[in-house]
């Protein structure tokens, strides 16, 4: 599980950064990628990245401001033109279906693969045997949502030394024990999976927020997250400006990470006034004063999400 950033700027693109989009790479877990927001130029960013549109499974839209959705029509139509046939599902606020369908219809764009659009107002959006995705509304000028992706715990690895001590050789019985079943050995005794399975592998939690002012919904969404992605449009000195425009400062993002007991904080959605890494360094310092394990998201940067021991 890795998070790859395709754009980290707020509002409009700059020479240094594109507008908002990030991809959760689940190649080992599902063989797919999940996209979060799709600002203008996202498909161009993907062309310069190791990502493949054919692997796209879900798109999660936080809100309907242009710097988060203007790249959708082009990306969807290009995916079809490249020959992708697997389904794509878009999750987003009310209005996302009208935007996508109208854009594709008026431009006479063809999508030759199953495309489903699910509008929501938060809550549980998706769940299967491996992952769960929940959403909650934040505080912005329009309905804006944060997403919490929870990977479910996985069974521990087989203890090969203990298996050998029971006289078992690799084969079908290994698979049954791995699945939690009990098996009968040659001497008639029952061997239970709990006897030979090591500790379960703890699932990871990633929380990716849309644009927001500080609000009470952030902490539950980010509680004990292994990675929190939080906007930090402004430095602390512009807290009044951030409040007026429904955004957050670096210090406010760090406070949220601390209160949520997150493991790592990634800041993104930077105002264009902070032109490069040098201008962003004070913003990073302000966040680290509150939450030391903070990093700045960068376009074309990959951030692994490590499993807890």
Question: What's the pLDDT tens digit per position in 17-43?
Answer: 999 999 999 999 999 999 999 999 999
140 is in an annotated binding site: yes
**Same domain for 189 and 54:** no
pLDDT of residue 183: 79
Q: Would residue 254 be called left, alpha or beta, if left means φ above 0 and alpha means ψ between -120 and 50 degrees?
A: alpha
Residue 79 maps to a domain: yes
Which tens digits make up the pLDDT trace of 205-222?
999 999 999 999 999 999
Which tens digits make up the pLDDT trace of 124-176?
999 999 999 999 999 999 999 999 999 998 877 777 777 777 777 777 777 77
Structural domain of 175: 160-196
Q: How many CA atoms lie within 13 A of 221 on its CB side?
A: 27
279 is in an annotated binding site: no
Element (H, E) at 76: helix 72-81
**Same domain for 205 and 56:** yes
pLDDT of residue 261: 98
**Same domain for 118 and 31:** yes
Q: What is the pTM of this model?
A: 0.90
Identify the CATH number of the domain in which residue 244 sits: 3.60.15.10
Between CA 75 and CA 80 the distance in angstroms is: 9
**Higher per-residue pLDDT: 126 or 193:** 126
Between CA 169 and CA 172 the distance in angstroms is: 9
44 is in an annotated binding site: no
**Same domain for 270 and 182:** no
| CA 30 to chain CA centroid, nearest Å | 14
| CA 92 to chain CA centroid, nearest Å | 14
Q: Which of 5, 6, 2 is nearest to 32 (CA)?
A: 2
**pLDDT higher than 90, residue 290:** yes
**Same domain for 251 and 221:** yes
pLDDT of residue 195: 77
User: How far apart, in Å, are the Cα atoms of 11 and each of 39, 75, 191, 220?
Assistant: 9, 19, 60, 27
**Same domain for 272 and 143:** yes
Q: Which residues carry out catalysis?
A: 67
Residue 272 maps to a domain: yes
Residue 148, beta-bridge partner list: 134, 207
243 is in an annotated binding site: no
Cβ pair 211, 247 in contact under 8 A: yes
Residue 307 maps to a domain: no
**pLDDT higher than 80, residue 255:** yes
143 is in an annotated binding site: no
Sheet holding 21-26, edge to edge: 115-119, 88-92, 56-60, 32-36, 21-26, 2-7, 302-304
Q: Which of 22, 82, 93, 84 is nearest to 55 (CA)?
A: 84
Q: Which of 290, 259, 294, 300 is nearest to 280 (CA)?
A: 294
211 is in an annotated binding site: yes
**Same domain for 57 and 73:** yes
pLDDT of residue 225: 98
Residue 279 maps to a domain: yes
**Same domain for 174 and 115:** no
Is the Cα torsion angle 94, 95, 100, 104 positive or negative in sign?
positive
Q: How many domains does the chain have?
A: 2
pLDDT of residue 90: 98
**Higher per-residue pLDDT: 184 or 37:** 37
**Same domain for 83 and 167:** no
**Same domain for 38 and 96:** yes
pLDDT of residue 305: 96
**Last residue of some domain: 140, 173, 196?**
196
pLDDT of residue 52: 96
Structure tokens, 256: 């949220």
Q: What angle do CA 85, 88, 92 make, to 5 degrees?
A: 160
């Amino acid at each position: 599980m890795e998070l790859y950033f395709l754009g980290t700027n707020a509002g409009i693109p700059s020479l240094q950064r594109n507008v908002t989009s990030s991809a959760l790479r689940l190649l080992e877990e599902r063989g797919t990628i999940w996209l979060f927001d799709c600002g203008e130029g996202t498909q161009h960013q993907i062309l310069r990245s190791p990502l493949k549109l054919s692997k796209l499974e879900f798109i999660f839209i936080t809100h309907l401001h242009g710097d988060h959705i203007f790249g959708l029509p082009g990306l969807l139509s290009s995916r079809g033109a490249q020959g992708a046939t697997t389904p794509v599902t878009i999750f987003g606020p009310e209005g996302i279906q009208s935007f996508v369908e109208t854009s594709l219809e008026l431009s006479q764009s063809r999508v030759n693969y199953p495309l489903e659009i699910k509008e929501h107002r938060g809550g549980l959006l998706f769940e299967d045997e491996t992952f769960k995705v929940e959403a909650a509304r934040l505080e912005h000028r329009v309905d804006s949502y944060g997403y919490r992706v929870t990977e479910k715990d996985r069974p521990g690895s087989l203890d090969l030394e203990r298996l050998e001590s029971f006289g078992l050789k690799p084969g079908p019985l290994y698979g049954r024990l791995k699945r939690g079943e009990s098996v009968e050995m040659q001497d008639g005794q029952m061997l239970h999976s709990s006897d030979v399975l090591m500790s379960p592998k703890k699932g990871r939690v990633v929380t990716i927020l849309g644009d927001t002012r500080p609000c009470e919904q952030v902490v539950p969404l980010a509680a004990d997250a292994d990675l929190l992605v939080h906007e930090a449009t402004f430095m602390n000195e512009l807290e009044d400006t951030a409040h007026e425009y429904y955004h957050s400062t670096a210090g406010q993002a760090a406070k949220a990470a601390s209160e949520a007991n997150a493991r790592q904080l990634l800041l993104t959605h930077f105002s264009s006034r902070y032109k490069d890494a040098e201008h962003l360094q004070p913003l990073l310092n302000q966040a680290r004063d509150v939450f030391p394990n903070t990093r700045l998201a960068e376009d074309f940067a990959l951030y692994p999400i490590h499993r807890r021991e």
